[in-house]
Structure 1
């Protein structure tokens, strides 16, 4: 495996990735981690960072998995990604599907992003089982958690977001999000620094999705309050239930049984 360039940004990202992993006990000794790779900057940065020596995280193994949604033929991007994974010495699985066109077909016009994300994630779980993985690492970062909170409030009528460590299938597998403490802009900067072979998304819904709307709204609010995203992220850890109009009979702890929140795309970034 070629040596990773040790820059100041690299050490910053590693520090906060390892802190998230340790805070939520995302990875235990001997775990096998499937890293969901979308071909985008975030997932390739996550794969790269997890594949470098850890200071505080126990020994584990990983496999990179790319589930091609099949929107448009991009053999050049697909081949470039495979060459990169092979050159870097990864154990990997690349699979072409028709999930994207199916999710955007006429019979599913209402919420194509949800179905596309769900089907791709289902396939990731299946491959995880085939490869003996008990952790599925997705590249959702701090901005994604904040945006999902607002998406679920605005459209799902609930206060919830993605969990950094989410047990599924009775706890036999976990979805983990090691980038949960990291801002999107720094991850993108690192991806440019490392010159990852990015596959541009050709999803027709991406430019007009709910997530895009929320991202633009936050950008607008940030012009007046530069701390808006940081404040929203911190607010998720400072929930005062006594000051929310919740009926006593409904004050129940989160069960962790749901597979995912209403994330509206962004399956593995």
Structure 2
């Protein structure tokens, strides 16, 4: 649903935006057993979109290297990233548009915090780790629930992932369930957490590289960012922004 939704948006932008760009849809066929490899080419041909299907048997590599019962994400993502970079290079693309949405970004933030000991997410725009491409995430501010509704409305031919999507012990799956449970019990919490990623106060965290505590000096000047000692923080009630989704 995410990739279909992103392609839908990019095609509309290509037709209307005052920016000229070329678009190539790329799919990696990982040779998963039973993968319906005819669905996507037929859909893209019907749309009239230039596309490239890259066929690489990463499924067999992952199944061979990862012990039974262990999650496959780490190796699978590294293989996919390397293949995607190569294909982008061959197609002479300079930007990679990925379908990560708002909920993916929050999940990544909590995964890094819970299991990696880092405050780190996925930004809407960042240079690739090999320095060769610009990675963009056009859906960074879009809620997954909106993409689900849009996919149903547009009747996208969704292809399930049987390689990793069915693994019950995925840490990402567990964090995703946690966020969905919070959203049910505490409406507005997801929106507040996402807003927090855009309102970072380094002086009130503990990363000495971002904020040099050792070199601080008394200024004698009042500042809202200064320490309020034992004052309790005041938090407003969560409120949901009024957002309208209009089908054109």
Which category of TM-score, normalised to the shorter sequence, fits these structures? 0.7 to 0.9
Aligned match of 2:88: 128
- Stretch of structure 1 that moved more, 215-224 or 108-117: 108-117
**Higher RCO (C-alpha 8 Å, min separation 6):** 1
Name the SS for the 1:47 alignment partner. helix
1:240 is aligned to: 201
The answer on whether the counterparts of 2:31 and 2:58 sit within 8 Å (CA) in structure 1 is yes
Cross-structure match for 1:214: 175
Structure label with greater radius of gyration: 2
135, 139, 152: which one pairs with 1:179? 139
Instruction: Give unpaired runs (5+ residues) of structure 2.
Output: 212-248
Q: Aligned match of 2:127 in 159, 167, 170?
A: 167
Gap runs ≥5 in structure 1: 1-40, 253-269
* Aligned-residue offset at 1:49: 1.5
Task: Give 1:135 shift.
Answer: 0.4
The CA distance in 2 between the partners of 1:66 and 1:115, in whole Å, is: 18
Cα distance 1:169–1:231, how it changes in 2: closer, same or farther (>3 A)? closer
Contact persistence 2:2–2:99 (CA under 8 A): yes
Say if 1:233 and 1:104 are closer, same or farther in 2 by CA, change over 3 A. Answer: farther
Matches of 1:158 and 1:233, distance apart in 2: 17
Deviation at 1:239, TM superposition (A): 1.2
**In 2, Cα distance between the equivalents of 1:118 and 1:235?**
29
Q: CA offsets, 1:34-64, max 9 Å, x none?
A: xxxxxxx110111121112454451101101
Aligned to 2:148: 188
CA distance in 1, matches of 2:155, 2:184: 30
How far off its partner does 1:200 sit? 1.1
Q: Tell me, yes or no, if the aligned pair for 2:29 and 2:56 is still in contact at 8 Å.
A: yes
CA change 1:56–1:91 in 2 (3 A) is: closer
Moved more, 207-216 or 55-64: 55-64
Q: Answer whether contact 2:182 2:189 (CA < 8 A) is retained.
A: yes
1:70 Cα offset (Å): 2.2
Offset at residue 94 of structure 1 (A): 0.9
How far the C-alpha of 1:222 sits from its partner, in A, is: 2.0
Task: Describe the SS at the equivalent of 1:78.
Answer: coil
SS in 1 for 2:139: coil
Give, in whole Å, the separation in 1 of the partners of 2:195 and 2:59.
Answer: 35
How many equivalent residue pairs?
208
**TM-score w.r.t. length of structure 2:** 0.77
CA RMSD of aligned residues (A): 2.0
The reply to whether residue 71 of structure 1 matches residue 26 of structure 2 is no
> Residues 140-159 of structure 1 correspond to what in structure 2 (within 5 A)?
140-159=100-119
Q: Which secondary structure state, in structure 2, belongs to the residue aligned with residue 182 of structure 1? A: coil
Asked whether the equivalents of residues 62 and 75 of structure 2 are also in contact (C-alpha less than 8 Å), the reply is yes
